[in-house]
Amino acid sequence: MGKSRTLYILTVLLLFFIILEFVIIILQRNQLKEPKEIQTISDVIIKDLRYGDSFNTIPIVDVDGNEAALKYGEYNTVLFYLSSSCASCGDALRFVERLQSVFGEDNLQVLLLWSDSMPVSLIEEYGIASENCFSINGSIAINTPTPTAYLLDSQGSIIYYNSDIKLCIEKLYMQVVEEGPEEQLRLNANRYLVEYFGISDFEKQQIVYFCMEGCPDCATADDILTNDERTDERNLYYLYTYNDIEPSHERDEYALLKLVYGIEWYPTFLVLQSEEEYRIVGEVPVETLLQELDSHKEEK
C-alpha cells in the first residue's frame, strides 16, 4: 500500500511539472510573437519589432509632415531604418540608387524611415524619391540601431533584418535569384556602372577594376598595367572593397557588386565591351594578365 501511495504521489508531481513546463512554453511563444512596447522615462515608446511583425503598427509622416502609410513592393521591399544623427547612415543613403538600379524598380521597392527629423537636403542631394521617405510620428522608436535594413513582404511584415546591411543584401540577393535569372542583375549592374563612371564610348577598353588595399596581387597588377606600353588604350575605374577606409576611394558599398558578379579574388577585372557585352577576368597568373585583357579587346 505504501509503495502504491508513493507511486501515486510521484505520478501526480510528474504530471504537474509537465503541465507547468507546457504553460511556460506557451507563455514564451506568446511573448516572442507579440511585439513589446517599453515605456521609457522620457515617455518614448520603444517598439520591439521581430520576424513576422508589421511596420503598419508604426505611425509615420511623409516629407511634408502629413500622416502617411508605407507602400510595399509587389515582390521585394527593403526598408532602411535611419536617424539624422547617425554618421554611418550616409552610406545607406548613397547606396539607395545603386541598390535600386541593380535590382530594378519593378522588382524592388526601397523605403527610408527616420526615427527623428528627416534630412530633406540629403534626400535631394542623393536623388532619392521623396515619396519613399518617411519619419516616425510621435514619441516612438524601434528597438534596433541605426542604420538597420529590413526585408519586408508585400504586406509589410518582417522577413529578415540586420544592422549589418551587407548580410541583409546577401539575403535579398539569394531571395531574388530564386525568383529570376542572375544574368539580368549583371546587365542592370553594367548599365549602372556605365552611367556611374560616365562611360560614353567603347573605342577604348573600359575596365572596372575590383581591388583591395594592401593586396599583393593588386600591387603586382598595378605595376603591370602602369608600365604597359598600351596603357593609353584602356580606361580603368577602381572599385575598392566595401570596408575600405580611404575617403578618396570608390567603394563597392556593402559588397553588392562583388555579390552580383560573383567575385572571389582580388584583383578581378570587369571588361565592358558594351552595356550588354562583358567579360570577367579573375584569378589569372600575373604574367598572362595583359594577354587576358587584350584577348577580350580583340574579340570585340
**Confidence band for 179, pLDDT divided at 50, 70 and 90:** confident
Q: Which residue has the higher pLDDT, 186 or 47?
A: 186
User: What CATH number is associated with residue 105?
Assistant: 3.40.30.10
Give residue 268's pLDDT band: very low, low, confident or very high (50, 70, 90): very high
User: What's the CA gap between 141 and 19, in Å, rounded?
Assistant: 38
Percent with pLDDT over 70 in the chain: 84
- 195 with 170, same domain: the answer is no
Is the model's pLDDT at 227 over the cut of 50?
A: yes
150 with 234, same domain?
A: no
pLDDT at 40 over 60: no
CB 99 within 8 A of CB 67: no
- Mean pLDDT, residues 264-286: 93
Q: Tell me what pLDDT residue 300 has.
A: 46
Q: What letters, b where the CB count within 10 A reaches 16 and e where it falls short, cover 254-280?
A: bbbbbbbbebeebbbbbbbbebeebbe
Confidence class of residue 105 from pLDDT cuts 50, 70 and 90? Answer: confident
Q: What is the mean pLDDT of the chain?
A: 87
Using pLDDT thresholds of 50, 70 and 90, give the confidence band for residue 109: very high
206 and 164 within one domain: no
The H-assigned helical ranges of the chain are 2-33, 89-103, 120-125, 165-179, 182-196, 216-227, 256-260, 289-299
Q: Specify the range with the lowest mean pLDDT, choosing from 33-37, 190-194, 228-232.
A: 33-37
Residue 233 has pLDDT above 50, yes or no: yes
Q: Is there a single domain that holds both residue 73 and residue 128?
A: yes
In a domain, 293, yes or no: yes
- Spatial contact of 132 and 37, defined as CB atoms under 8 Å apart: no
Please indicate, yes or no, whether residues 131 and 221 belong to a single structural domain of this protein.
Answer: no
Distance between CA 216 and CA 290 in Å, rounded? 17
Question: Three-class SS of residue 84?
Answer: coil
Which of 179, 213, 229 finishes a domain?
179
Whether residue 266 is found in the same domain as residue 140 = no
Is 216 part of any domain? Answer: yes
Whether the model pTM is above 0.85: no
* Mean pLDDT value across residues 155-178: 95
Considering the domain architecture, whether residues 106 and 226 belong to the same structural domain is answered as: no
In a domain, 89, yes or no: yes
Q: What is the reported pLDDT for 30?
A: 46
If asked whether residues 47 and 172 sit together in one domain, one would say yes
Q: Is the pLDDT of residue 208 over 90?
A: yes
Can you give the pLDDT at residue 87? 87
Whether residue 255 has pLDDT greater than 80: yes
Examine the pLDDT at 169 and tell me if it is beyond 70.
yes
* 179, 212, 241 - which closes a domain: 179
Is 234 found in the same domain as 158? no
108: containing domain = 38-179
Does 259 fall in a domain?
A: yes
The reply to whether 4 falls in a domain is no
The answer as to whether 9 is a domain residue is no
Alpha carbons 288 and 70: distance in angstroms, whole number = 53
Would 22 be classed as within a structural domain?
Answer: no
- Domain annotation covers residue 8: no
**Range with the lowest mean pLDDT among 17-26, 178-187, 206-215, 234-243?**
17-26
Lowest mean pLDDT among 9-23, 46-60, 284-298: 9-23
Tell me the C-alpha distance between 281 and 291, whole Å. Answer: 11
pLDDT of residue 106: 87
Residues 126 and 187 in one domain: no
Tell me: pLDDT of 74 over 80: yes
Q: Is the pLDDT of residue 108 over 90?
A: yes
User: Residues 115-164: pLDDT tens digits?
Assistant: 998 999 999 999 999 999 999 988 888 999 999 999 999 999 999 999 99
**pLDDT of the residue at 260:** 97
162 and 250 within one domain: no
| Side chain identity, residue 219 | A
What domain count does the chain have? Answer: 2
